[in-house]
Structure 1
């Protein structure tokens, strides 16, 4: 999904705690990966786990989306030097839970 040459990623929150959040990253109906954000006072640590290959331009677009949609809402006057990002290429091997309930895969249709 592109708009003026910019890939339009969509983030759907999966988990939120007092000091962290996990978002699923979508490009249309394709799950691109996850971003884990950890808030440590004036520093935000972001770990991005990509399930598909992105170009450098798409990575920059994704970082901009994360910054605009999440980080800026957490700290509007946030100094960008205090956003530390680590990017990984990852593959989901399996999911596990001790819960007796079945765990359904989170899909883009679960967003609404």
Structure 2
């Protein structure tokens, strides 16, 4: 895979999450997907979510690049790297703040009915 780089969006003692970006210029810097990596005592588990389908050869190259750049560089012992791959689309980002605003909006709406 050409021009792939990873941008970390979270890290815990035993897990990391990355955005997978493709392209080097600001205009072509597109998110290809995300990968969450979880380290256990014997194996590393990955959840790869792609925003578009890839050819099998490109998919295996991407998994190898994730292994080399992210898993092996973490310097954690492992017997295997197990990866679940999904293809989907981003439908939104939700947080406590979103739900608090939504609840406040619905309370305001209810007050108008009285």
- The yes-or-no answer on 1:12 pairing with 2:7 is yes
TM-score with structure 1 setting the length: 0.75
Which runs of 5 or more structure 2 residues have no equivalent in the other structure? 24-28, 99-114
Change (3 A) 1:39 1:78: closer
- The yes-or-no answer on 1:88 pairing with 2:86 is yes
The structure where helix makes up a greater share of residues is: 2
Which runs of 5 or more structure 1 residues have no equivalent in the other structure? 1-5, 101-112
CA distance in 2, matches of 1:88, 1:27: 18
TM-superposed CA distance for 1:97, in Å, is 1.6
The answer to whether the 8 Å contact 1:72/1:78 transfers is no
Superposition misfits of 4+ residues, deviation over 4 angstroms:
none
The alignment's C-alpha RMSD in Å is 1.7
Answer with 1 or 2: which has the greater Rg: 2
Residues 1-112 of structure 1: pairs in structure 2 closer than 5 A: 6-28=1-23, 29-75=29-75, 78-79=78-79, 82-99=80-97
Aligned length in residues: 93
